[in-house]
Structure 1
Amino acid sequence: MSFGLLKQALKAIRYESRHRAPVRFSRWFLWLAPGLFVKRWLLVSASGVLLTGLGLAIWTNRTPVFYIGRFISDFLETVTTFFPSYVSGPIAIAIGILFIFWGQTRSLGSITQVLMPEGDEELIDVLMTHRRLNRGPRIVVLGGGTGLSNLLRGLKIYSANITAIVTVADDGGSSGRLRREIGVLPPGDIRNCLAALADEEKLLTELFQYRFRAGDGLVGHSFGNLFLTVMSEVTGDLERAIAASSKVLAVRGQVLPATLSDVRLWAELSDGRRIEGESHITEAQGKIVKIGCTPSNPPALPKALQAIREADYIIMGPGSLYTSIIPNLLVPEIVEAIAQREVPRVYVCNIMTEVGETQGYTVSDHIRTIDAAAGHHLFDAVVVQKKTPSAQALIRYAQEGSHPVFLDREAVMQLGRRVVIANVMLEDEHTGQVRHDSDRLAKILLRWYSRVHEL
C-alpha cells in the first residue's frame, strides 16, 4: 500500500516538474517582453540605488567604501581558503540568482494579489493584453440600435482605441419617455454601447437591460437608462455623464453622441405623408423618399469630430438604415469630417430588409440612400453576408414582410464600391432570428483593414 502511494507521489512530482514548472518559468520571462514599461523602471531604480551609494561615498570621503571593500576582500579570501574559487563562485552565483528570482516572484505575487484578489488572471497576462489592445488601430464606428453594440462587442477584443458615435434621435420606449418627461437626450443606444464595451460585459448587460416590472412611473424603464439620466443630471450634460460612466464601468474606448442637440427625425413617404418621430417612421409602413431632422444641420460634438480626424479606420453600421445609420449623417460636420479622411472606410450592410424602412432594397439601394443623404461617397467597401438564412428563418421573416438583402454586384461595382463577401451571420436555432455574429464580423473587418492598410 505504502509503495503504491510512493509511486503515485513520484509520478505527480514528475508531472509537476515537466508541465507546471516550465510554464511558470516561461511566464516569468514574459516580463522581459518589450513594451511593458517594466524593465526600464527597474533599471532606473537600480541606477538610483547605485548613485545614492556613490553620493554617500563621496560625501564621506570614501571612507565607508574603503572599509567595506577591505571587509569583502578579507571575507572572500577566507572563503576561497576552504572552498576553491571554481566551487564557491558558481555556488554564490546560483544563490544570488535564486534570491533574485524568489524576490521578484514574491513581490509580483504580492502586487497581483492586491490588484486582482480573485486570482482569475495573472498580472503579466493583464499587462500583455493591455499593451496589445492599446496598440490596436483607432477605430470609429457610426450607427445605433442593437447592430452597433453587437459589433462593438467583437471589436473590443482587437483594440481599446474604439470610438462609437451614436445617434440620439430615438424617441420610443423607455428612452422616449425619459426624453418627453425629463428632457434628456435618449440614453438607450448609448446604454447598449457602454455595456458592450465594458470589461464585465455579461453582468453589466443584464444590469443595464433590467426593466422594472412594478412601481409608479418605473414600469418599463430600464435601469441603464435611469442610471445615465441621473448621471446627466449630476454631471450637467450627457457627454460628461457618458465619460463618468465609462470610468466607473471600465469601458474600453469611448462612446459619444453625434450631437448634443435635441434632434427629432422626420420622413416624407411616397404617398405624401410626413411622419414626425423616429419610432413613428417605421410604424407608418410606407416607402421613405426623404428624411431629415429638426433642427436641421445640428452641430456635431467636438470630440466626435476629433475622433474621426484621428481615426485609422471608419466603420458604418450595421443597423437600421433610416433610423440608425442616416441620423448620424444628418450632422453635416460629421459627414465632412469623414469625407476628408483617406483611411479605410467600410459599410456593413444589413442581412435582412426591414419592414417600414427598406422593403425590397438591394445592397446598391442601401448604398445609394446613404450617398444621397450624405452628399458624398463616405465608404470604399461594403460587407455583405455570404450564405442565406435557413428555410425556417426565411419563412419567419417572410411572414413579417422581410427578406434577405439581395447583392446586385454589378450595380455595387458601378457605384465604385468593393464588395467583401463573408459569412458573418448568427442564426438562433429556436427562434430563427438572424443577426450579425460579433466575433466573425469583427474578425472580417480587421482582416480587411490589415489587407488594405498594407497596400
Structure 2
Amino acid sequence: MSNGLDRHRSSSAPGRSPGARKRVPRWFKWLAPGLVVKRWLLVSSTGLIVVLVGIAIWANLTPVYRLIELTSTTLETIATVVPSYISGPLAIAVGLFLILWGQSRTLGSVAEALSPNGDEELVEAIAARRRLNRGPKIVAVGGGTGLSTLLRGLKAYSSNITAIVTVADDGGSSGRLRREHGVLPPGDIRNCLAALADEEKLLTALFQYRFSVGDGLSGHSFGNLFLTAMNDITGDLERAIAASSKVLAVRGRVLPATLSDVCLWVELADGRRIEGESQIAKARGKIQHIGCLPAAPPALPAALQAIADADLIVMGPGSLFTSVIPNLLVPEIRQAIAGAVVPRIYVCNIMTEPGETDGYSVADHIRAIDAACGGEQIFDAVLVQRRTPSAQSLIRYAEEGSHPVFVDREAIDQLGRRAVLANVMGEDPQNSRVRHDSHLVARALLRWYSRAATWKSNRALANPS
C-alpha cells in the first residue's frame, strides 16, 4: 500500500521526468538480492558458450584452433597499434555495454508483455510477490463482514493466508440459494474471496455486484450465483471456491469450516429456543446456550491441515454468536485450534451488537467462547480497541441500543488472557459508523505476532507430547 504511494510521490517530484526515473534504477533493481534472476542469466550465458564450444568440438576441433589463432593474431595487432592500457579498458567497456543493452532489451520485452499498462514495474512486482510468499502462515477464523475486513489488511503482509468461514448463514441471497438449490451459503465465502483478490478491481466489483431488478435475480449478488453455478459444475464447494480463486487472483485460500448443511440454534434466558442464524439477532434475548444441527459436523480436512501448519491463528472480528462461534461448533476445528502451539488471538468487536451481545464486556466475549468450547481455552490474547469512539458516534449507536464493549482488564487477566490494546478503529464522519480499520488491525496483529513468535517453541518445550 505505502509502496504504491511512495512510487507515486517520487514519480511526481519536480525536476524529474517519469522516463528518466523508469530507465535509471532498473539496472540496479535487477541486481537486488532475492529476485533469483542474476544466477539464471549467468547460467544461460554459460550454457550458450558451452553449446558453441561443443559444436566446434563436434566438428573435429578445427574451428576451435582456427578461432584461437585468429583471436591471438587480432589481439596482437590491436596491442601493437593501440596501447594495451587503452584498448583493454575500451574492449571491456564495449563488451559490458553490449551485455547490458541486450539484457535490458530482453527484460524490457518481458516486462512489457507481463505488465502492458505499466502500472507496476516487473522487478517491483517480483520483489513484492516474493516478500508476500515469505510472510507468516496465517489462519483467520470467522465470517460476515468482520472476517473480510481482516483479510483485506492481512493480504498486504502475507500470501500464506487461509480463511476458515462459517456456513451457517440462512438469510438474504445466501439463504434463498440454500433453500432453493440446496447449496451451502456462499455469501461469506464470496466476501472473503473479494477481500483477498489481488488488485483485480473490475472482477471484484463484478463478483460483489448485486442485482436490483428482475424476477428471481433481485437481491442476489453475481458472486453468489457464480459460486452456486460452479458448485453444480464441479459437484463440490471446495472445488468451486478454488476455481473462483483463480479467476480473482486470490492471495491465499478460502475454506468452509465444514461441508455439512449446518443450522444454528440458541437457547435464550427466557426459555425460548431459536433456530436459524438470521433469526437469532431478531429474537432480542440473552443467549444462554448455542449449538448446531447436526451436533458434530465433520471439518473440512484442508481446514484442519491449514491450522496444523499455521504460524498465527486469528479469530474474529464479527458477530460473536453468528460468525465466530459457529466455526468452533465443528469439534475437529475447535480441537485443532486448541492443540496448536502458535500464537492465537481473538479480535474483539468495538461495539456491542443488539440481540447478541447486549451489555457485553470483553471478558463476557471470552466467557461465551470458552463456554461454546466446553471450557477449553483456545486463544491466548484478545485485541481490543484502545480509544473510545467520538461523542457523535456514541449518540448514534445509543439510539440503536449499542454501546462500546467495556475493557475489563482485571477480569481478562483472571481468565488467563492477555489484553492487547491498540487503536484499530475507523470512524466514518458522515454516518458516524464505527468499524475495524483493516490496515490498522493487520498492523497490530503482525506487531503482536512478531513479539509472540517465541511462544511456539516455548509451548512446544512445555508440552513435548
Determine if the alignment matches structure 1 residue 347 to structure 2 residue 351: no
Query: How many Å separate the matches in 2 of 1:356 and 1:370?
Result: 17
Determine if the alignment matches structure 1 residue 245 to structure 2 residue 238: no
Counterpart of 2:157?
158
Query: How many Å separate the matches in 1 of 2:180 and 2:280?
Result: 21
Determine if the alignment matches structure 1 residue 185 to structure 2 residue 184: yes
Secondary structure at 2:453 match in 1: helix
Counterpart of 1:449?
449
| Cα 1:428–1:118 shift into 2, 3 Å | same
Q: Which moved more, 1:56-65 or 1:285-294?
A: 56-65
| Cα 1:44–1:364 shift into 2, 3 Å | same
Determine if the alignment matches structure 1 residue 223 to structure 2 residue 222: yes
1:32-111 alignment to 2 at 5 Å?
Answer: 32-111=31-110
Counterpart of 1:402?
402
Query: How many Å separate the matches in 2 of 1:159 and 1:237?
Result: 27
Secondary structure at 2:291 match in 1: strand
Counterpart of 2:304?
305
1:431 partner letter: N
Uncovered stretches (5+) of structure 2, i.e. residues with no partner: 1-13, 456-465
Note the C-alpha offset of 1:238: 0.8
Counterpart of 1:382?
382
1:416 partner letter: G
Secondary structure at 1:275 match in 2: strand
CA deviation digits over 1:34-55, x for unaligned, max 9? Answer: 3322222223212322332343
Note the C-alpha offset of 1:314: 0.3
On the 8 A contact 2:350/2:405 being kept in 1, the answer is yes
On the 8 A contact 1:136/1:158 being kept in 2, the answer is yes
Counterpart of 1:123?
122
Note the C-alpha offset of 1:21: 5.3
Secondary structure at 2:447 match in 1: helix
Note the C-alpha offset of 1:318: 0.3
Give identity over the alignment, percent. 70
Secondary structure at 2:260 match in 1: coil
On the 8 A contact 1:282/1:356 being kept in 2, the answer is yes
Query: How many Å separate the matches in 1 of 2:411 and 2:354?
Result: 23
On the 8 A contact 1:192/1:205 being kept in 2, the answer is no
Tell me the TM-score normalised to structure 1 length.
Answer: 0.94
Secondary structure at 2:429 match in 1: coil
| Cα 1:93–1:454 shift into 2, 3 Å | farther
Secondary structure at 1:315 match in 2: strand
Query: How many Å separate the matches in 2 of 1:38 and 1:339?
Result: 42
On the 8 A contact 2:57/2:64 being kept in 1, the answer is no
Aligned CA-pair RMSD: 1.7
Determine if the alignment matches structure 1 residue 264 to structure 2 residue 259: no
Note the C-alpha offset of 1:24: 4.0
Tell me the TM-score normalised to structure 2 length.
Answer: 0.92
| Cα 1:257–1:22 shift into 2, 3 Å | closer
Query: How many Å separate the matches in 1 of 2:426 and 2:420?
Result: 17
2:391 partner letter: A
Q: After the TM superposition, which segments of 4 or more aligned residues of structure 1 sit over 6 Å from their partners?
A: none
Query: How many Å separate the matches in 1 of 2:56 and 2:198?
Result: 51
Q: Which moved more, 1:195-204 or 1:153-162?
A: 195-204
Query: How many Å separate the matches in 2 of 1:202 and 1:409?
Result: 42
CA deviation digits over 1:248-277, x for unaligned, max 9? Answer: 110000000000000010111111111110
Counterpart of 1:167?
166
Note the C-alpha offset of 1:16: 5.8
Aligned residues: 441
Counterpart of 2:11?
none
CA deviation digits over 1:67-96, x for unaligned, max 9? Answer: 001111111122222211111111111111
Uncovered stretches (5+) of structure 1, i.e. residues with no partner: 1-13
Determine if the alignment matches structure 1 residue 436 to structure 2 residue 436: yes
Query: How many Å separate the matches in 2 of 1:71 and 1:137?
Result: 58
